Structures are given as C-alpha cells and as structure tokens.
Structure 1
Amino acid sequence: MSTILHIDSSVLGGYSVSRQLSAEIVARQEVLHPGATIIYRDLVQAPAQHLSDKHLAVFQGAEVTDAALGADLAAGGAFIEDLFAADVIVIGAPMYNFSIPSQLKAWVDRVCVAGRTFQYGANGPEGLLPKGKKVFIASSRGGFYTGDSPAAFLEHHETYLKAVLGFIGLTDVTVIRAEGLSRGDEAKNAAITGAQEQIAALS
C-alpha cells in the first residue's frame, strides 16, 4: 500500500491556487494508488519554528531544557519520518517575493539534516532518502517566470525547491505550474485549466 505525503504552505487558505492544485494532485494519486495512506502537513496551521541558536546548540549536543523547543525538535523529526515513509510527495508551493514561503523554508531547514537525509562522502554530498520516490510540486505564481520572460532571472522558487530536494535524494520531481495568476481573470483561468489538464494526464 502506498503512502502519500501532502504538504501545503500557502497563507491564502481557500483562496489559494497552490492548495487547490495540490489537493487535485493528491486526488489523482489516490486514483492511481487505491487505498493509499495520506499524511497531511499544513505548514501554516501547524508551522515549524525557524532555526535558532537554540536549535543549533542541541544539534551540537546541548541539553534540551525548553519544552517548546523540545516539541519543535520532535516535530522536525516527524517531518523527516514523513519523507522516509512516503512513496509520493505532493508539495503546494506558491511563489512569494520570487521564492518559497517562509513556512516552507522552515520545513526545508528541518528536513535537511546531516546524517539523516544527506551526508558528505568521498564524492561530495549524497542524499540519504531511498530512491524511487516521486515528488509533485503544485507551483503558483502571480507573474510569468518561464521561457524567455524578462523576469526569469528572478525565479528562485521552483529551481530552489528542485535543488534542495535533489540534495537529499529526491530527484524524480514533476512541477505542475499555474503562473500569470495576477494578470486578469482570463489568464488566471487559463493557467489553472492548463495545470488541471496536466494533473488529469498523470499516470
């Protein structure tokens, strides 16, 4: 039986296109993998703390003396276990100020842990997550950043996510993108419809 990890990071709730698309990707995966177990993480409703000096001290062997920090460290460990358990990973990732939401960045910082999800070997960094996992990114953007767009050089969103996921061993990444969402209703509807067609064609 398959396990699907579903992560959302948009602050827009029911108005979020990335949340809409991530839910539709998960629904499609449930069709493809009947009986799959779903792990859902809403990084807005249950956010991870951002890394602090206290986190780094514990990583270096310091004692945990703060209950809130201890709970957050446990949550970070659970995020890592999610990744090992999942066969399919679906990440809802809107673009905020040319990159990912800070809530999603906090999650990234909690799952990129030396000795757990990556290590440095003789040939450099090596991802430690098992091969064969599929990742789908539900990407949403207000403007246009692909192809020959003059704003392409500002895109630190999908490229960053794909790089950091590859760093920990997740290299089978498919991006389902809806961009141009702030360019009027016609452009928005066309972008969402195009993304939905990609989702329906997943096999």
Structure 2
Amino acid sequence: MKILHIDSAITGEASVSRKLTADIVAKLTAANPQATVTHRDLNDGVPAIDSNWFSAVRMTPENPTPDQQRLIDMSDAYLSEVQAADVLVIGLPVYNFNLPAQLKNWLDQIARAGKSFRYTEAGPEGLLTNKRAIIAYSAAGTPIGSDFDHASGYLRFMLGFLGITDVEFVAADRLAMDREAGLARAQAALDDLAA
C-alpha cells in the first residue's frame, strides 16, 4: 500500500485536521506494516496556476524554456505522487466555508487533461482510478454537508472527476460550538474506518 498524506492547514500544531490525518495514517500503517507514506505539506506553498503555467503545462511547448520546464516538473511531481498512491489521506480544514487556497491550487495542478482526466463522447472520464481517499474535515462552525459547507462537496466532486470515487470523511465539525463533541464524532468515524 502506498499512502499519500496531504496536509493543508495553516494553524501548525493547533490544527485539528493535521492531527486527524496523522491518526488516519497511523491506523493505516499499523494495519499495513509494509505501507509506504509520502507526506506533502501544501502549507509550504503550492503555486496558483496562471498564464505562464498554462503556456508551459497545458500547451506543452516542444522546447520549453528553463522557467517553463520548472513549472512542468513541479506539476508533474504533484501528479505523479497521486498516480503512485493507493490511498490519499487529505486534510481539509474549512476556511470561510471552503477549502484552503493551497488545496485548491494543488487540485488545479493535478487536474490535467489527458493525464488525470480525459473528455470522451460520453463526457469526462477520470483517469486516477482504483484509489481510496480519506478526508480529514475540520471546521469551527461549518457542519459537514450543510448548505454553507462548500468544501466537502467540492472536494468529493473534484476527486470523482479525476476518477477517485471511493471517498470517506472523518469529520470534526462545529468545533467552536462544542469542541469535545466535534472531536468525539471524528474519533468515532476514525474508529469505524476500515484500515
């Protein structure tokens, strides 16, 4: 088993989603001692895509400049980590009712036509199949699945668009209202999680 461990919280040691992703990875590796883990901390910075990225990565120039090659290599590195993984463990802290910008940037980096999805006569087809995703959702005041939770549905949709349809959530939500209850719900979901 190859595990890709993704964190995106900006709150460091105080992060609930970081603790949850670590606990999920620990559970998976305890049950699968031969598992390997690649950790990617998106808080270290994931560049937003822009016109330079589009010219380099999407337009695939025959002779890229050094700057273009750097952008290509970076996007390829993000994507290759996902392609190699059997399980993705993704920290999803909710900021302003949505996912962190660095997590959105990472999704933009890996959503590449012809590599992670393709268009067919029947519509789009995800190419990152046979993978499991476990999402560690944390929110101070946004209940998961509520009308103002624009994070979990979007992330589930994007993963599905890329072919990852086995998606589970371990949610610590409404932490500002009742922190202990939110953490207890997350722990119960973690306990129920198949390793």
Answer whether contact 1:4 1:90 (CA < 8 A) is retained.
yes
1:201 correspondence with 2:174:
no
Q: TM-score of the superposition, structure 1-length normalised?
A: 0.89
Q: Which amino acid aligns with 1:175?
A: F
Answer whether contact 2:142 2:149 (CA < 8 A) is retained.
no
Answer whether contact 2:141 2:173 (CA < 8 A) is retained.
yes
SS at match of 1:44: helix
Distance 1:24 1:72 in 2: 33
1:134 correspondence with 2:125:
no
Identity of aligned residues (%): 38
Please give the per-residue CA displacement for 1:19-59, whole angstroms capped at 9, x wherever unaligned. 010110000111221120001000012x2210011011122
- Report the alpha carbon displacement of residue 144 of structure 1 after superposing the two structures with TM: 3.7
Residue pairs, 1:1-203, within 5 angstroms: 2-45=1-44, 47-58=45-56, 59-62=58-61, 63-67=63-67, 70-131=69-130, 133-146=131-144, 152-183=146-177, 187-203=178-194
Q: Which amino acid aligns with 2:115?
A: R
Root-mean-square deviation over aligned CA pairs: 1.5
Please give the per-residue CA displacement for 1:145-194, whole angstroms capped at 9, x wherever unaligned. 346xxxx32221000000000000000000110111122xxx11221122
Q: Which moved more, 1:164-173 or 1:23-32?
A: 23-32
- Report the alpha carbon displacement of residue 12 of structure 1 after superposing the two structures with TM: 0.4
SS at match of 2:4: strand
Q: Which runs of 5+ in 1 are unaligned?
A: none
Answer whether contact 1:48 1:75 (CA < 8 A) is retained.
no
Distance 1:144 1:96 in 2: 9
Q: TM-score of the superposition, structure 2-length normalised?
A: 0.93
Q: Which amino acid aligns with 2:118?
A: Q
Q: Which runs of 5+ in 2 are unaligned?
A: none
Please give the per-residue CA displacement for 1:77-130, whole angstroms capped at 9, x wherever unaligned. 111111111111100010111110000001000110000000001100000113
Following TM superposition, where does structure 1 have runs of at least 4 consecutive aligned residues deviating by more than 6 angstroms? none
